Amino acid sequence: MTVATRPSIPPARYRERLDRAVRATADAGFDALLVGVGPDLRYLTGYEALPLERLTMLVIAPGDDPIRLVVPRLEEPAARAGCRTDVPIVTWEETDDPHALVASIVHDRAGAGALRLGVSDRLWAFHLLQLQRTLPGAGFESATRALRTLRITKDADEVALLRLAAQAADRVVAQIAAGPLVGRTEADVAREVRERLIAEGHEEAHFAIVGSGPNSASPHHEASERVIRAGEPIVLDIGGTLGGYGSDITRTLWVTGGDDAKGPDEEFRHLFGVLHTAQEKATQAIRPGVACEAVDATARGVIDAEGYGEAFFHRTGHGIGLEGHEDPYLVDGNREPLAEGMAFSIEPGIYLTGRYGARIEDIVVCGRDGPIVLNEATRELYVVDG
Amino acid sequence: MTVATRPSIPPARYRERLDRAVRATADAGFDALLVGVGPDLRYLTGYEALPLERLTMLVIAPGDDPIRLVVPRLEEPAARAGCRTDVPIVTWEETDDPHALVASIVHDRAGAGALRLGVSDRLWAFHLLQLQRTLPGAGFESATRALRTLRITKDADEVALLRLAAQAADRVVAQIAAGPLVGRTEADVAREVRERLIAEGHEEAHFAIVGSGPNSASPHHEASERVIRAGEPIVLDIGGTLGGYGSDITRTLWVTGGDDAKGPDEEFRHLFGVLHTAQEKATQAIRPGVACEAVDATARGVIDAEGYGEAFFHRTGHGIGLEGHEDPYLVDGNREPLAEGMAFSIEPGIYLTGRYGARIEDIVVCGRDGPIVLNEATRELYVVDG
């Protein structure tokens, strides 16, 4: 039997990331970084703990012996197995106060002055409020100030995982477009999408937007019991994680039910053509040094010029990696220049509320000389018998 | 075709919950309650938004016109479709500051004095830090002070959903115990568990702990590539959500591989007998007025008396509902008295680190006259050929 080996992040990489995080903590002026369960913890250690009420927290404080992982005692073996590099673990018992334990580790390392502490973005408010009560003199800020420079550019192993995820999602789009679709509910198609994402190698299927008819004009439509009919579009926006890294693809379909008279009307064809050009031009604009907002402006310019500006009411894209949405955001006002290795969606849309809409989305990596598009599924309108 | 109708929460219930939340906010002394995406939002409105970086927030401020739901414009149709009762919606555009919008709504209703604000436990630290910066004079506390009295007791519709979830999980335990197990990896069995939970009606399969051999002594073991062998125990702790409500069951198996000589050894039989008695006595202790810590003490007393006290190093149980873990917690130090309608796990365990362990877990509702046990799968040791 041949076992396909999936690329993964080498264990040594986690040690490098932790070392860089210690330096980034100091560079950001933080006395310590407090990283709860979530993508930052996974990025730094490989450990995927469940986000629950029991506190798990990586404490990073520049200086000697800078790292401790605080875990509930009953999860100590799971944490040891989950960390991909050696991390000193401190456990707490069920009746201990874990926030006081974190505070004591911070005080041991950084003293008791007016501390500046970074906390991971996804830490629960419940935990942050407890930490603020336990460390009343400290100022708390988003740890992303320190960690974003690490996570915002992807290395070759991360890009390989993003590509595998993208290609798996491409296959699911083709499978769904092959039908049948007409006569089924959106929710039923969404179920099929989730099953197929798993079958194609995703470990989680996070979302399956199936917006048919007027629902195609609702960008984050929740798949409903509406029955898909011949002669209408479907916006299909699907994704999950593969090896921890996200997929996220949108394609627009038009189902005819096999009746040529029920093909896309003239306005939809026009609208889709405008959208296609906007998505293509925004993609072509990708290269190091270009501002995030300039990519947004490129897509928006094409759509504005055709009179659809009001119908494109969301940003052009978002970064993607261990999180489905992360830095950088391709949005007006974000002047950050793109850099080699940044990965993000490019996904303009045009939505005529109450009538119909369309969106095209790819995951793109900023390469040294231009865009590296990870999705390979055709970007044309999928006119299908359905 | 007969369509089985699943019980669900009637729309009118959400209006009642919102009305109660307004009163509970005032009773708790809060000027406003800020409820982000998560179980509190779903409990109050029925809306299940994805937890993302774009802010969705229900603002509840006692007084005239107390409720607003702040949502990103692109999710307005999804929010309208998702709310099970009429909630006034305020939208923000991609380049707006949603935290400032929330602050203005709070100020409009509660003035600009020294505000006391409750925030939902699962709000991301990222959002809480932004709100703290935008409302610098305000004090922030956990909204659970106000909301726990609503959520901690379940009504008949909620109990019906918890029972359906429990019975679906019961069926999956029986299916897994039927084997085969020997020769498979824990991860492969965990995959089967997740598929079966979905096939039995769960919409999400949140966890599938399959701890074999020495891994059975790790309470929150992450299913690994370890191959299950004849002559060892497996702790199977599985669950997800059905109609939004959690299942969570643990049973302990012993796989013989069909070889009678590979049955459970004497110590394991003894240990399991002690555990079985502890779980049964703790369950029998359930009735209104009994303190949460007394239930923990009942289980612990049985296990301590047999010399296994050090090997039972977690609390006896946790509440369950829209969250897998929620109030009340059955733990030493929690003097809260049980009340009719509270729902929780009862799950003592005995773990001999490096060797093996066992756990038995049911979901139990506190009834007027005693325990209502929702799981029906046998609690005996499952000695299976495997």
Structure confidence by residue, pLDDT tens digits, B180-234:
999 999 999 999 999 999 999 998 899 999 999 999 999 999 999 999 999 999 9
Q: Do A324 and B123 touch (CB under 8 A)?
A: no
Size of interface A-B (CB pairs under 8 A): 131
Which stretches in chain B have pLDDT values below 70?
1-5
Average pLDDT of the residues in A131-138 = 96
- CA neighbor of B181 nearest in space, from B213, B221, B143, B214: B213
Length of chain B: 386
Average pLDDT of the residues in A259-276 = 97
Local confidence band at A50 (pLDDT 50, 70, 90 cut-offs): confident
Contacts of A325 in chain B (CB under 8 A): 52-53
Name the residue of chain B whose CA is nearest to A203's CA. B191
Q: Do B221 and A78 touch (CB under 8 A)?
A: yes
List the beta strands (DSSP E) in chain B.
32-35, 57-60, 67-72, 89-92, 116-119, 139-142, 204-212, 232-242, 245-246, 249-255, 317-319, 326-330, 343-346, 349-352, 356-359, 362-366, 371-373, 382-384
**Can you list the alpha helix ranges (DSSP code H) found in A135-265?**
144-151, 156-177, 186-199
ipTM, two decimals: 0.95
pTM for the structure as a whole: 0.95
Quote the pLDDT of residue A16.
Answer: 97
Quote the pLDDT of residue B251.
Answer: 98
Rounded to a whole number of angstroms, the distance from the CA of B263 to the nearest CA of chain A is 26
Name the residue of chain A whose CA is nearest to B324's CA. A52
Quote the pLDDT of residue B206.
Answer: 92
Bridge partner list, A146: none
Contacts of A326 in chain B (CB under 8 A): 53
C-alpha to C-alpha distances, A26 to A19, A32, A87, A98, A101, nearest whole angstrom: 11, 8, 19, 25, 22
Tokens standing for residue A75: 């999860």
Quote the pLDDT of residue A68.
Answer: 98
Quote the pLDDT of residue B2.
Answer: 41
Rounded to a whole number of angstroms, the distance from the CA of A195 to the nearest CA of chain B is 10
Asked whether the predicted pLDDT for residue A10 surpasses 70, the reply is: yes
Tokens standing for residue A246: 């996200």
Q: Do B122 and A125 touch (CB under 8 A)?
A: yes
Asked whether the predicted pLDDT for residue A1 surpasses 50, the reply is: no
* Distance separating the N- and C-terminal Cα atoms of chain B: 37
C-beta separation of B348 from B282 below 8 A: yes
For chain B, count helices (H), then strands (E). Answer: 10, 18
Contacts of A144 in chain B (CB under 8 A): 126
C-beta separation of A175 from A185 below 8 A: no
B181 vs B53: CA distance, rounded Å: 42
Q: Do A77 and B53 touch (CB under 8 A)?
A: no
Rounded to a whole number of angstroms, the distance from the CA of A201 to the nearest CA of chain B is 12
Cα-only R_g, chain B: 23
Q: How many CB atoms within 10 Å of residue B305?
A: 12
Interface test with B, best of A37, A120, A128 (most B CBs within 10 A): A128
| DSSP assigned state of A53 | S
Asked whether the predicted pLDDT for residue A281 surpasses 80, the reply is: yes
Pairing of strands A382-384, A249-255: parallel
Contacts of B82 in chain A (CB under 8 A): 222
C-beta separation of A356 from A283 below 8 A: no
Contacts of A215 in chain B (CB under 8 A): 77
B244 vs B249: CA distance, rounded Å: 16
Quote the pLDDT of residue A2.
Answer: 41
